[in-house]
Structure 1
Amino acid sequence: MRRLVFLVFVLNALLLALMIPGSASVPWIAAEGLVLAGLFLWLPARSLRLGLAWGAGVLYGLSALFVLLDSMVRLSLGRSLNLYLDLSIMGASVDLLVANLGWMGALLVFVVALALCLILVALVAGLLLRIGDQARQVPGRHLAVGMAGMAVTGLILPAQLVGATVVRIGAVHAGEALEAHQASQHFRERITAGPMERGSSPVALGGLTDTTVVLAFVESYGVSALFDERYRPVVQQALANLESAVQARGFHVVSGRLRSPVQGGQSWLAHGTLVSGLWIDNQQDYDALLASRSPTLINDFQATGHETVAVMPAITMAWPEGRALGYDRILDADSMDYLGPALNWVTMPDQYTWSWLHSAILEPSQVPVFAELSLISSHAPWVPVLPVLEDWRSIGRGEVFEPWRGAGEAPVSLWKDPERVRAHYARAVAYSINVVAGYIENRMNQRSLLVVLGDHQPAPLVTGEDASRDVPVHLISADPALLEPFAGDGMKPGYGLDGFSSGIWPGERPGSPMSAFRPFLHRHFQVRDNISHR
């Protein structure tokens, strides 16, 4: 009898373990455990017990795999796994895993996950069969008392002590998937009604007619890099260097915060949110934006007379999304003339991207340019971290970075130690900011507005749980009139962008959503006579 009680206890513990990663409260007794144990105590036929045991084992193994995936999503993206939203990005997730760990490392992850699943299937099936076998050795009256006791326990104990595990997990995630589906449907309906809500034409930003505007997204540059004491000392020095470069050129800077729709990844959703003026926090809404052909900042600047350029050094394959957004030119990794080494996931260092942008795009252009940059040196795995080269004229086509080919330890080695990962993160962000300082000192011209901002916070592994999703924003220009709306009206709560002020350091007041940025530009820089798509 004692052995039977012990086996039921182990079964209960295995079922409750499924709830630990994603639940604030875990019951003491799993209702499924009571039901399964009761069935195996009662079922007389060995064949029935065998089929039910393996069926329950497979269900448990799949549930455990789901919980593992959910934990990984929480750790990397700061939210729970949502099958409706995440199935469409599984391929991109696998590509990122391969890029960071290599084929062998990624294959090892899959093999370990599969092996764990199979072990759990066999463990639960074997456990249930042994419960059935032990029940055959217990006197009938003792068995009847035990079954009655389990039934009474399940009925009289409060809900917080007895609860379904697999059923509850499935119900919660099914509810989240349904909510996501309904929200996406609402988004599609709203974006279809765009002509009534926002106008079907782009808005000419007459206040920026003769100004080249560079919108530079710094990968994983979140407010934790500034306000978390683990990173602040390193990044603060980089911001001091940036401020010194601004002052040395006689430029001006305004800084603030914006709230990103994502954390830890899916940078394109943050990009889409900012340029569209719509809150886009999942792939389905992003796809709806592309299909709708709704106007964005790209079209606004085209209407203003700018050439619109996307500089995307991370793009190494076809990018139909860029064509759907309507840039005049899309420059991917293969279009940027880079002859230096790749640096793990990073195709080229930020310093090359800035140098190439100036020499190949901005300097030769006969018209103002709107350039969107996706900077990637501060993208995980944050190794190696390069120094900023003082002589920008030596950068050429990137051969100067050859000494860093294969530099630094392998990502799979670094990521065994979370503390060293965090140290590399701070250094990588500082590098990206120092590169911006070097660009201002050596390349930026007087008729430019430079908008430097993060795309999202890094993963919860770096920020900790429940960190703000705000990212820093720095606007830099030689013309203080271009910055005055941000430092002036931006200080008025509810006026569009909250919490911007003069200087390099953003305040601690929470920022407006990224979707507020485009309407703010419309309010302060637009020409009233809208111009249609060209």
Structure 2
Amino acid sequence: MPLFIRSRQPQDAGAGGADPDGAPAAVGDTAAGTPVPGHRGRFGLLRRWPRAARGVTVGTTVLAGALVLFALLLPNRPERVHAAAFLRLPAEGILVAALLLALPPRFRRITAGVSGAFLGLLTVLKLVDIGFYQVLARPFDLVLDWILLDDAADFVRESFGRGGQVLAVAGAVVLFLGLLVLMTLAALRLTDLMVRHRPAAVRTTLVLGVAWITCVTLGVQITGTPVATRANADILGNRVDQVRAGLRDARVFERQSAVDAFAKTPPDRLLTALRGKDVLFTFIESYGRVAIDDPAMAGPVGAALEDGTRRLRDAGFASRSGWLKSPVTGAGSWLAHSTLLSGLWIGNQQRYRSLTTSDRMTLTRYFRRTGDWRTVGIVPGVRRAWPEGKFFGLDHIYDSEHLGYHGPYFSWTPVPDQFSLEAFERLEHGKKDREPIMAEIILASSHNPWSPIARMIDWDDLGDGSVFHGIKKQGTDPKEVWRDPERVRTEYRRAIEYSLRSLTEWVERYGDEDTVLVFLGDHQPVPTVTGGNAGKDVPVSIVAKDPAVLDRVAGWDWTDGLEPAPDAPRWRMDAFRDRFMTAFGPRGEGAAAQAP
């Protein structure tokens, strides 16, 4: 509701009409003159309750100021959102106020409206950044991340149903439009206020400018937070650099993907040391270094790894472990999987799309190229068409609908890990008179949100998975768990233990002389678990019964057992493909591929 009107009758500025800058006169001000014809109803109400009218005027002005300050001072990282962050002097606000006071009336209102709309967009970007930092530990990429919004909507639908997805999307749209409109109106209202009280506004702007410069010069801080800030300018500057890098990235990636040390290697010279072996590349969702290094988790997870090492050793298996640096953290499993298999750094969706529409040879495709392995994928997290599966060179893909599972979902996870591994045994590994298998296996029980979690049961009791209905009822409620970060960390740790135990028990039960298992985490979990640690390391282990297999990787200097030492070698994940193919190719060949 407009609280100020412009008189339609010529008035002398000195008689209380519009000020020389064209600002409207206040309703209820005795100098405003007679109510404008056509507005008597509104004026009658305001004149009958002048205190209420003034209260509304003051209240909306205060709210407009608070909204603009909130937008200017809101950080774009969740760990920086605290009380001290909103007690700062924003350089951008002071500069825009000075500009608005200096502009002629004709351009002032346009500039105020555009500034308000832009501030609304900036606020939306900050809120999106906060969400991305919470999940991916990085800001939103204006060039490369739009596809992830669709993935986020799918995740909400899969976790909370179609109704939850509709509410989430509708809420996001309303928030976006609401911020644009409210921020524009707030900027216009504050501009009118400054013009009506021009002398005071000029003095205030000068004082704030001097205070900002003084605080910068002296380094004044409140609880470690600088009082003077230009964070919005820094955010925008970083975004400009980010957009430039994103636009260049396609050309950079094209050059990188053209280099392949094994592209011209004859099939009969590939992976010769693994002929006749079943080679299983297994990803454990969100199995990051935090599970081993964090003091609150190191004990239980370390015990699970020690127990697995012992049980496998008793069954005749040996193991070695190291670290890989993943291209992602928090989420983006497919980017990590494709990085390991392709030997290229796939850190964003643009690279993933370029990769999966190219003829790049992945590790799985090289196995298939030899003609000596049947290549299969166990991908319980896939619930719809996955055309990229053909790119990875898999002869057959078993998704969540083709594993024979008739039990319940465990939150996001369609199939418990123990059942996925038993299905692999039933459908492929346990068949008689079969050819050697190369399998890519995704264990999804440790996928966020980690509640409820399946638990181990006797392998002979798995059946069609119906037994898990009762187990799910005994599990935790994710809504309750996510109210407490410590409970989230506890459930994450339990999920990792479950995945590790499922895998080591499967090897103990079904592994043989020809089993070669490589298992690793795809990325670190979300910052709620890592505590804001930005590290991207994940554990990787290789397990085999045949001593000749581990002799081939003796030069890697990995740690004995399933738990890598803190100072174990750390490679980039994209280096693994070429190192692996070099180690298991003919001796003396491919040395150039062992890039660090």
Among candidates 77, 83, 90, match of residue 136 of structure 2: 77
* C-alpha separation in 2, matches of 1:76 and 1:217: 19
* C-alpha separation in 2, matches of 1:386 and 1:6: 52
Greater mean alpha carbon deviation, residues 65-74 or residues 49-58: 49-58
Asked whether the equivalents of residues 16 and 29 of structure 1 are also in contact (C-alpha less than 8 Å), the reply is no
Spell out, residue by residue over 1:104-144, the C-alpha distance to the aligned partner (whole angstroms, 9 max, x if none): 44444445545555554465445434434434553x65555
Letter of the structure 2 residue corresponding to residue 223 of structure 1:
R
Letter of the structure 1 residue corresponding to residue 259 of structure 2:
G
Among candidates 135, 151, 156, match of residue 97 of structure 1: 156
Match of 2:34 in 1: none
Asked whether the equivalents of residues 330 and 523 of structure 2 are also in contact (C-alpha less than 8 Å), the reply is yes
Match of 1:37 in 2: 97
Among candidates 263, 269, 278, match of residue 199 of structure 1: 263
* C-alpha separation in 2, matches of 1:126 and 1:435: 58
2:360 aligned with 1:360 = no
Match of 1:381 in 2: 449
Q: CA deviation at 1:216?
A: 0.8
> Which residues in structure 2 correspond to 1:224-303 (within 5 Å)?
224-303=290-369
> Which residues in structure 2 correspond to 1:417-428 (within 5 Å)?
417-428=484-495
> Which residues in structure 2 correspond to 1:313-324 (within 5 Å)?
313-324=380-391
Letter of the structure 2 residue corresponding to residue 348 of structure 1:
V
Q: CA deviation at 1:336?
A: 1.4
Distance 1:504 1:189, change over 3 A: closer
Match of 2:409 in 1: 342
* C-alpha separation in 2, matches of 1:372 and 1:457: 20
Q: CA deviation at 1:248?
A: 2.2
Distance 1:403 1:325, change over 3 A: same
* C-alpha separation in 2, matches of 1:7 and 1:326: 59
Query: For 2:145, what is the secondary structure of its paired residue?
Result: helix
Q: CA deviation at 1:167?
A: 4.4
2:243 aligned with 1:185 = no
* C-alpha separation in 2, matches of 1:64 and 1:512: 38
Letter of the structure 2 residue corresponding to residue 463 of structure 1:
T
- Give the CA RMSD over aligned residues: 3.2
* C-alpha separation in 1, matches of 2:560 and 2:324: 16
**Aligned residues with identical type, % of pairs:** 32
Letter of the structure 2 residue corresponding to residue 286 of structure 1:
Y
Query: For 1:257, what is the secondary structure of its paired residue?
Result: strand
Query: For 1:254, what is the secondary structure of its paired residue?
Result: strand
Match of 2:575 in 1: 516
Where structure 1 has 5 or more consecutive residues not aligned to the other structure, the ranges are 492-499
Spell out, residue by residue over 1:303-343, the C-alpha distance to the aligned partner (whole angstroms, 9 max, x if none): 34111111111111111101122211111111212122222
Distance 1:318 1:123, change over 3 A: closer
Asked whether the equivalents of residues 451 and 491 of structure 2 are also in contact (C-alpha less than 8 Å), the reply is yes
2:106 aligned with 1:18 = no
Letter of the structure 2 residue corresponding to residue 32 of structure 1:
E
Q: CA deviation at 1:276?
A: 1.4
Where structure 2 has 5 or more consecutive residues not aligned to the other structure, the ranges are 1-57, 220-226, 591-596
Asked whether the equivalents of residues 364 and 394 of structure 2 are also in contact (C-alpha less than 8 Å), the reply is yes
Asked whether the equivalents of residues 18 and 67 of structure 1 are also in contact (C-alpha less than 8 Å), the reply is yes
Distance 1:462 1:154, change over 3 A: closer
* C-alpha separation in 1, matches of 2:541 and 2:425: 19
2:521 aligned with 1:429 = no
Letter of the structure 1 residue corresponding to residue 494 of structure 2:
R
Q: CA deviation at 1:506?
A: 0.5
* C-alpha separation in 1, matches of 2:173 and 2:143: 23
Match of 2:28 in 1: none
Letter of the structure 1 residue corresponding to residue 338 of structure 2:
G
Query: For 2:347, what is the secondary structure of its paired residue?
Result: coil
Greater mean alpha carbon deviation, residues 242-251 or residues 21-30: 21-30
* C-alpha separation in 2, matches of 1:434 and 1:251: 15
| Larger radius of gyration between Structure 1 and Structure 2 | 2
* C-alpha separation in 2, matches of 1:143 and 1:469: 50
* C-alpha separation in 2, matches of 1:433 and 1:238: 7
Asked whether the equivalents of residues 277 and 296 of structure 1 are also in contact (C-alpha less than 8 Å), the reply is yes
* C-alpha separation in 1, matches of 2:502 and 2:397: 23
2:439 aligned with 1:371 = yes
Letter of the structure 1 residue corresponding to residue 328 of structure 2:
V
* C-alpha separation in 1, matches of 2:141 and 2:326: 19
* C-alpha separation in 2, matches of 1:515 and 1:30: 42
Distance 1:303 1:144, change over 3 A: closer
Distance 1:458 1:357, change over 3 A: same
Letter of the structure 2 residue corresponding to residue 378 of structure 1:
S
Higher normalized contact order (CA 8 Å, seq sep 6+, divided by chain length): 1
* C-alpha separation in 2, matches of 1:107 and 1:44: 46
* C-alpha separation in 2, matches of 1:522 and 1:485: 11
Match of 2:238 in 1: 172
Match of 2:222 in 1: none
* C-alpha separation in 1, matches of 2:191 and 2:535: 51
Match of 2:539 in 1: 472
Q: CA deviation at 1:206?
A: 0.7
Query: For 1:230, what is the secondary structure of its paired residue?
Result: helix
Match of 1:399 in 2: 466
Asked whether the equivalents of residues 380 and 414 of structure 2 are also in contact (C-alpha less than 8 Å), the reply is yes
Spell out, residue by residue over 1:272-321, the C-alpha distance to the aligned partner (whole angstroms, 9 max, x if none): 11111222211222222222211121122123411111111111111110
Greater mean alpha carbon deviation, residues 262-271 or residues 371-380: 262-271
2:565 aligned with 1:507 = yes
Distance 1:356 1:23, change over 3 A: closer
Query: For 1:264, what is the secondary structure of its paired residue?
Result: coil
* C-alpha separation in 2, matches of 1:164 and 1:463: 29
> Which residues in structure 2 correspond to 1:105-120 (within 5 Å)?
105-114=164-173, 116-117=175-176, 120=179
* C-alpha separation in 2, matches of 1:507 and 1:148: 59
Distance 1:346 1:37, change over 3 A: same
2:145 aligned with 1:62 = no
Q: CA deviation at 1:194?
A: 3.0
* C-alpha separation in 2, matches of 1:143 and 1:342: 61
Letter of the structure 2 residue corresponding to residue 78 of structure 1:
A
Asked whether the equivalents of residues 552 and 584 of structure 2 are also in contact (C-alpha less than 8 Å), the reply is no
Among candidates 289, 293, 308, match of residue 375 of structure 2: 308
